[in-house]
Structure 1
Amino acid sequence: MLVEDVFKRPYYEYLNDIIKRMVGESMTINEVIVQELKDWQNSETRRKMLVGEAYYLETTDIQKEKTQEISWKSNIKLEHGFAKKLVNQKVGYLLSKEPTIATENEAYAEQLKEIINRDFLKKLKNIGKEAINKGIGYLYVYIDEEEKLAFKKLPSEQILPFWKDAEHTEVSSFIRSYKEKVYVNKIKKTVEKVEYHHPGGIDYFILEGNKLVPDDAAGHSVNYHILINEKPFLWKRIPLIPFKYNEEEQPLIDSIKSLIDNYNLQASTNADVLADIPNFIYKLINYGGVDLKEFLEDLRIYRTIKLDEGGDLDKLQATPETDAAEKELERDRKSIYEFGRGVDTTDSNLGNASGVALRYRYSDLDMDCNNLESEFHSSLEHLMWFVNEYLDMKGLGDFSNESVEFIFNRDIIISESEVITDAKNSVGILDDKTIRENHPWYTKDVEERLAEQKKLEMDQYDNYETTFKKKQGDVNGETT
C-alpha cells in the first residue's frame, strides 16, 4: 500500500529518539520545539520574508526612518511601489495564462481536470507571488469536507521546515506557528497556536510563555494526516510542497531594498525642499506697517502696502536646485529594474521598439522566469505524487506510471505588426493552420469560426448554383 500503516511504529518516533540522544534526557521534545521555534522567529531568514511582504504592500523603511527635528519643516514620506510592480510583472509574465497539462492517457487527463481546476491555478499564481516576495512558498495538501483533494497556501513566515536533504527538496517534518483570536471565559484574546506535522500525524499546542500546552480545541494530537470515508491514512511524504523563487531561496527584495530606500528618501527630501521654499521671497525696505502679518493682509485684500519715506518693496525668486536629485532618482530607477530583473514600462522608447529590441529588453525578465519555472516544475512533480496517491486511494485509477507535463504559456510581449507580416510571407512555405496558430490574434475559437464561415460560403454557393440553374432552365424552356 502506498500509505503508511497507522499501526506501525512511525518514523517520527525514531526521529524523536535521535533528538533525545542529542539533547540529553533532561530536554523533552516539546522543549526542543519551543527552542527551534524561538530561533526561527528571531532568524534573519524570517525577517527578510516579512520585509519582502511589507515592501510589496508599499510599507517601506521611509515610514519609520525619515523624520524632521524642526516642527515647521515638511516631513513628506513618498512610497514607490517598485517591489509590487516587479513581483506582479514576473507573476503575470509566467503564471497569468492557464498552463497546458499534457498527458497521453485520456482517463488521466479527465481526472486531472477535476483537481487542477481554476481554483488551483489561482493558488499557483498566489504561491508564485509568495515565493518571489519571501524566497519560498508552501502549498499544504489535505482532504476537504467533500473528501476531495485540496490545497492551501500557508504563509511562509509561519513555517519552520526540517529538510530531508541539504538541497531542500523534501520536508521530513515541520512546525507551523500562527496567532489566532479566541474567546476565553467570554473574553476575546490572541493566542499563539503551534502545530507539529510529522510522519506519524499532527500534534496541536498553544504556546504560553516558553511552554507548550495541548490545544484542547484542536484535539491534542492525531495519528493520521487525512481521513477518507472516516478511515485514517498517513501520507508516506509530508504533505507540504515547497515552491522556491530560486535555488538559494533568496527573496527579490534582497536585490533591490537599498535602491528602493534611497529612491524613496531622495524623492521625499526633494518634495520637502519644494514644499518648504516659497515661489518668491519679499524684500521690504522701511516698511510702514506694524508687523509682517499686517503686510500680508494688506497685500492680499487691498493689493497695496504702506511704506515709510525712502521705502521700497522687491521680491527675490526662489529657484531650488533639483537637477542633481532628479539624476540620482533616474540612476536609482534604472538600477532597480536592472537588478530586480524587470522591465521599466515608462521607457519612452519601449512603444516603438521592434520585435528584436523587445525581446532584448525583456531578456532579464525572461531569464529570471526561466529559473522560477524550473523550480516550479520540480515542485509540481512533487505535487503530482499526492495527486496520484489520492486517485489510487479513491479507486479512480493507478496513474503512478503515467507521464504528465506542465507547459507554462508565457504572456510574451511581441511586435504584432512584424508577426503578421511574417505570417503573410510564410504563405506557400508553411501550411495554413501553422500560420494561423502563430498569428497574434489566434485562439482556439478561430478554427470553429473558420468552419462556420466555410459552411456559410458553401451554402451561399449552393443557393447561387441552384438559382442559376433554375433560371437557365426557365430561359431554355421559353426558347423551345
Structure 2
Amino acid sequence: MLIEDLHRAPWHERMNEVIKDMIDDVTTDLEILVQEIQEWEKSERRKNMVTGELYYLNKTDILLKKQKIAWKSNTQLAHGFAKKLVDQKIGYLLSKEPTFGTENIPYRVLMTETFDRGLLKKIKNVGKEAINKGIAYLHPFFNEEGELSFKKFPSEQIIPNWADNEHMEILSFTRVYEVTAYEDKKKVTKKKVEYYHSQGVKYFVFESGKLIPDVSAGIEKNYHFLINDEPYVWEKIPLIHFKYNEEEQPLIDGIKSLVDNYNTQASTNADLLADIPKFIYKLINYGGADLAEFLSDLHEFMVVKTDENGDVDKLQANIETDAVEKEIDRNRNSIYEFGRGVDTREVGLGDASGVALRFRYSDLDMDCNILESEFQSSFEHMMWFINHHLFVTGQGDFTEEKINVIFNRDIIIAETESIDNASKSFGILDDQTIRENHPWYNEEVEKRLKAQEAKLQKEIEKEYANAFPPKEVKTNG
C-alpha cells in the first residue's frame, strides 16, 4: 500500500462523491431549464404571440369593455382587421402551388410528390402562424407508416436555444404544452415538457415549479427517429423556423393600438346613438302622478293630463357624430397603411389600371417580399431534412442538388390591359413568352396546344392524302 493511500478516502466514499457531483450537475441543468420555462411564460414575446392569435380570431380587447351605469348601452363592436390583413398576405403569396426549379427531373418529381396538398396546406398554416406570432415552427418526424412528415408546433410552446444572434441555427429547444388526463376519475391538466437536443429527447412533467421525469412518455430517448426499428439522430436539431421578418415581430405589434381605438370609437358611437332619445319632453304643471304615467298616457291615449296653465313641449335631440366618423375613417386608413394591406372598400379599385393596381398593392407586395425572403431560407432548411430522408431510404442522393422554390403569387391585374399588351407583343417576343404572360395561362395550356397541333397535323395529312390518290404500281406479268 502506498503512503498516499492511507490518507485517501475509501473507494465507495469517492464514488458516492462522484455520483453526488453528477446529481448536483443534473439538478443545476434542470433548475436552469425551469428558470427558462418560467421566464418564457411571463415574457412579452410569448404574450404578443397569444395576442396575435386572439386578434386573428377577432377576440379583441373591446370584448372586455364594461359599463358602470346600468341603464346605458354597452356595445362591443369587434372588427376583424387582423384576420383580413393576415389572410390577404397568405392568399397573395401562398395560395398557389409553388414551382420547384431544378434541372434534375427525377428530383423535381419527388419534390412535387412530397409537397402534396396536405403539406402545402400546412405551409399556408405556418405562414399564418408566422404573421400572427412573428415566427412559426415545423417539426420533422416519421408517421406510423414510416413516412417523413411535418408537424406544426404552436409558437408559444417553443423555447429555442439559438446558436447565433441572427437566429439562424438552433442548438436545442424545449417544448412546453398542456394535456388533459384522468386521474382517479377526475379530469386534470398536466404541463408536459420535451427537451430536444443533438442526441435525442428528454421528457418531463412540470409540477410545483419542478421538472419530474415523465415515465409515461419514456423519460428519455437516445435517438430522434426510427427506421425499421433502427435508431437514428438528425445531424441538425429537428426544428424548422419560419419568420415573418428578421425581427420576428408579429403583425399585431404594429396595429393593435389602432384596432383597439377603432373598436372603441365605433362602440362608443354606437352607445351614443342607442342611448340618446330622439325627443326630450318638457313638462309644465304636469297633472299626473309620475313620469311613468305620462309615458303610458302618451303612448296609449295620445293625450297628456296637465294642471292649470300646464303645457307640454318637446326638444329635438341633435346627434353629432360627424367628428367620430371622420376619426374612425382616419383610423381605418392607418390600420391598412401600417398593416401593409389593401383596403378593398376603396372606390374604383375594380376599375383601376395596371399601374394603379400595382401602386395600391405596393405595401402588400413589399411585406410579402420580406416574408418570401425569410421563407426561402426556411425552405432550404426543410429541403435538408427531405434530402437526407431520400438518401437514407434509398430513393437517391440529392444532398448536393440545387433547387429553387418559386412562389407563384396571386397577383391582381387588369386582365383586359394585359391581354391587349400580349396581343401587341407578337413579332417582338416569342409565342411562349407571350402565352406565359397571358392572364389565363397555366401549364395545361402547353399540353392542350400540343394536342391541338397534333390533331391539326393529322387533318392536314388526311386532306392531302385524299387530294393525291396513290399511284398504281405496275408489275411484270
Q: TM-score scaled to structure 2, two decimals?
A: 0.89
Q: Which residue in the other structure is 2:318 paired with?
A: 319
Aligned residue for 2:141, secondary structure, equals strand
Q: Is the 8 A contact 1:214 1:220 kept in 2?
A: yes
Aligned residue for 1:273, secondary structure, equals helix
CA distance in 1, matches of 2:413, 2:336: 20
Instruction: Provide closer, same or farther for how the CA distance between residues 307 and 412 of structure 1 changes in structure 2, counting only shifts above 3 A.
Output: same
Q: Is the 8 A contact 1:175 1:196 kept in 2?
A: yes
2:393 counterpart of 1:403? no
Deviation (angstroms), 1:423: 1.4
Deviation (angstroms), 1:116: 1.6
Aligned residue for 1:182, secondary structure, equals strand
CA distance in 2, matches of 1:385, 1:443: 30
Q: Which residue in the other structure is 1:340 paired with?
A: 339
What is the one-letter code of the residue matched to 1:45? Answer: R
Q: Which residue in the other structure is 1:39 paired with?
A: 39
Residue pairs, 1:126-137, within 5 angstroms: 126-137=125-136
CA distance in 1, matches of 2:170, 2:193: 17
What is the one-letter code of the residue matched to 1:122? Answer: K
Deviation (angstroms), 1:445: 2.7
Instruction: Provide closer, same or farther for how the CA distance between residues 325 and 166 of structure 1 changes in structure 2, counting only shifts above 3 A.
Output: same
What is the one-letter code of the residue matched to 1:429? Answer: I
Q: Which residue in the other structure is 2:475 paired with?
A: none
Instruction: Provide closer, same or farther for how the CA distance between residues 453 and 200 of structure 1 changes in structure 2, counting only shifts above 3 A.
Output: closer
Greater Cα offset, 253-262 or 181-190: 181-190
Deviation (angstroms), 1:326: 0.9
2:345 counterpart of 1:349? no
2:271 counterpart of 1:289? no
Instruction: Provide closer, same or farther for how the CA distance between residues 200 and 468 of structure 1 changes in structure 2, counting only shifts above 3 A.
Output: closer
Residue pairs, 1:162-311, within 5 angstroms: 162-311=161-310
| 1:420-471 CA distance string (max 9 Å, x none) | 111121223223332222111222333344455556667778888999999x
CA distance in 1, matches of 2:190, 2:384: 35
Aligned residue for 2:384, secondary structure, equals helix
Instruction: Provide closer, same or farther for how the CA distance between residues 228 and 458 of structure 1 changes in structure 2, counting only shifts above 3 A.
Output: closer
Q: Which residue in the other structure is 1:63 paired with?
A: 63
CA distance in 2, matches of 1:78, 1:469: 81
| 1:17-71 CA distance string (max 9 Å, x none) | xxx99xx85952211111111111111111111111111111112222x322211
Residue pairs, 1:422-441, within 5 angstroms: 422-441=421-440
CA distance in 2, matches of 1:205, 1:345: 49
Q: Which residue in the other structure is 1:386 paired with?
A: 385
2:362 counterpart of 1:369? no
Of the two structures, which has the highest relative contact order with CA contacts closer than 8 Å and spacing of 6 or more?
A: 1
What is the one-letter code of the residue matched to 2:183? Answer: V
Instruction: Provide closer, same or farther for how the CA distance between residues 460 and 387 of structure 1 changes in structure 2, counting only shifts above 3 A.
Output: closer
What is the one-letter code of the residue matched to 1:32? Answer: I
| 1:81-113 CA distance string (max 9 Å, x none) | 111111111111111111101211122122223
Query: Unaligned regions of 5+ residues in structure 2, if any?
Result: 1-20, 470-477
CA distance in 2, matches of 1:449, 1:236: 46
Q: Which residue in the other structure is 1:3 paired with?
A: none
What is the one-letter code of the residue matched to 1:44? Answer: E
CA distance in 2, matches of 1:307, 1:439: 81
| 1:306-352 CA distance string (max 9 Å, x none) | 33343333222212211111111111111111111111111113222
Instruction: Provide closer, same or farther for how the CA distance between residues 170 and 306 of structure 1 changes in structure 2, counting only shifts above 3 A.
Output: same
Instruction: Provide closer, same or farther for how the CA distance between residues 434 and 26 of structure 1 changes in structure 2, counting only shifts above 3 A.
Output: closer
CA distance in 2, matches of 1:314, 1:454: 87
Q: Is the 8 A contact 1:170 1:241 kept in 2?
A: no
Q: Which residue in the other structure is 2:10 paired with?
A: none
Q: Is the 8 A contact 1:135 1:244 kept in 2?
A: yes
Greater Cα offset, 253-262 or 439-448: 439-448
Identity of aligned residues (%): 60
| 1:195-244 CA distance string (max 9 Å, x none) | 01001110011111111111121111110000000000000110001100
Greater Cα offset, 427-436 or 228-237: 427-436
Query: What's the C-alpha RMSD, in Å, of the aligned pairs?
Result: 2.3
Instruction: Provide closer, same or farther for how the CA distance between residues 289 and 467 of structure 1 changes in structure 2, counting only shifts above 3 A.
Output: farther
Instruction: Provide closer, same or farther for how the CA distance between residues 457 and 305 of structure 1 changes in structure 2, counting only shifts above 3 A.
Output: farther
What is the one-letter code of the residue matched to 1:229? Answer: N
CA distance in 2, matches of 1:352, 1:287: 62
CA distance in 1, matches of 2:291, 2:185: 62
Q: Which residue in the other structure is 1:51 paired with?
A: 51
Q: Is the 8 A contact 1:175 1:197 kept in 2?
A: yes
Q: Which residue in the other structure is 2:145 paired with?
A: 146
CA distance in 2, matches of 1:27, 1:458: 80
CA distance in 1, matches of 2:454, 2:110: 35
Deviation (angstroms), 1:261: 1.1
